[in-house]
Amino acid sequence: MVSTPPPSLRQRVASAASQLRERLGGRRPRAAMLLGTGHSSIAAQLQDRVTLHADDLPSGLLFAQGTPLVFGLLENVPVVVSDAPLASYEGHNAEEVTFPVRVLRELGAEFLVLTAGAASLRQQIEPGMLAIVEDHLNFSSIHPLQGPPDEALGPRFPDMSDPYTARWRRVAAEVAREGGLPATQGVFAAVPGPSLPTRAEYRFLRTAGADLVGMSLVPEVLAAVHSGMEVLAVVGVTQLVSIETPEPASIEAMLDAADLAAPRMAALLCGVLRRLA
């Protein structure tokens, strides 16, 4: 008896997008927003919302904490919004982590907005500030493009000279400046987690050129660039790492900084979407 081969990634992406399209009544998003920081503020502002809970989502399309996928209008732009994708440190592989990006691209999204929390390695980037990611260092130990290539999903060797689209970085910086939001730009280093880096690792990352350190973003960005999306990534700074005089990380202080950054993040992203409209 000949066994049926499992569906390819391309087939699973197409199937999931088709199911979403049907459940959304044919609505097509222009932007996809996967928000580890500022998610609840943005989701609450959507108009004409359609909410798909975890049980309503196609197989494999999962987000952090079982967050639903919400379709609606933000600044008159059709968007889909959810929390960040699953994290690799929870045992998920690169394909599982980046599957939502590929599905939302297949659904029609051309612009991907990602947010997350991150530690700062620069005195000038303080907790509660926003940092627009201008480039990255991938020390996450996962890469979604490894394995057999599928040209239908994207090129074998995608160019990464501008993974964080320059024009959207400029727009985000302008919106922050006009709105009086404390924001800067920096290089983001992705680490595996879930343990925080050691002093020696922080020192290495700073020497390597990192301004910010976190446990997400980069795999999703790689998949988005591979599939032809424009990308904007912004992090909310949760702590300032002092390598010379180390202190144990305070989860409470990190949460306070994240709470401070969240409304600023929402204001920035609304301003960016306003420009997109």
Please give the model's pTM, rounded to 2 decimal places. Answer: 0.93
Residue 102: which domain range? 9-276
pLDDT digits (tens, 9 = 90+) for 142-185: 999 999 888 999 999 999 999 999 999 999 999 999 999 999 99
Q: To the nearest whole number, what is the mean pLDDT of the chain?
A: 91
Give which of 233, 273, 241 is closest to 257, Cα–Cα.
241
Spatial distance between the Cα atoms of 167 and 199, rounded to a whole number of angstroms: 35
> What is the distance between the alpha carbons of residues 233 and 247, in angstroms, rounded to a whole number?
28
For position 73, which CATH number holds? 3.40.50.1580
3-state helix, strand, coil in the chain (%, to 5): 40, 25, 40
**Which of helix, strand or coil describes residue 96?**
helix
- 219 within 8 A of 143, measured Cβ to Cβ: yes
Does any domain span residue 3? Answer: no
Q: What is the pLDDT of residue 72?
A: 95
pLDDT for residue 223: 97
Query: Residue 118's pLDDT is what?
Result: 93
The listed range with the strongest mean pLDDT (46-50, 81-85, 246-250) is 46-50
Over residues 62-71, the pLDDT tens digits come to 887 778 899 9
Number of domains forming the structure of the chain: 1
Question: What was the pLDDT predicted at 246?
Answer: 66
CA distances for 190 relative to 26, 50, 108, 221, 252, angstroms: 36, 33, 27, 11, 22
pLDDT at 67: 84
pLDDT at residue 2, rounded to an integer:
57
pLDDT at 124 over 80: yes
Q: Do the domain assignments include residue 26?
A: yes
Q: In this structure, is residue 2 part of a structural domain?
A: no
Give the SS3 label for residue 71: strand
Residue 191 included in any domain: yes
- For residue 163, cis peptide bond before it (omega within 30 degrees of 0): no
Percent pLDDT > 70 in the chain is: 99
On whether residue 192 sits in a domain, the answer given is yes
| Rounded Cα distance, 267 and 117, in Å | 16
Q: For residue 13, is it within any domain? A: yes
Neighbours of 38 (CB within 10 A): 25
Rg of the chain on CA atoms, in Å = 18
Residue 1 included in any domain = no
Position 125 in a domain: yes
Give the tens place of pLDDT for each residue, 251-269: 777 777 777 788 899 999 9
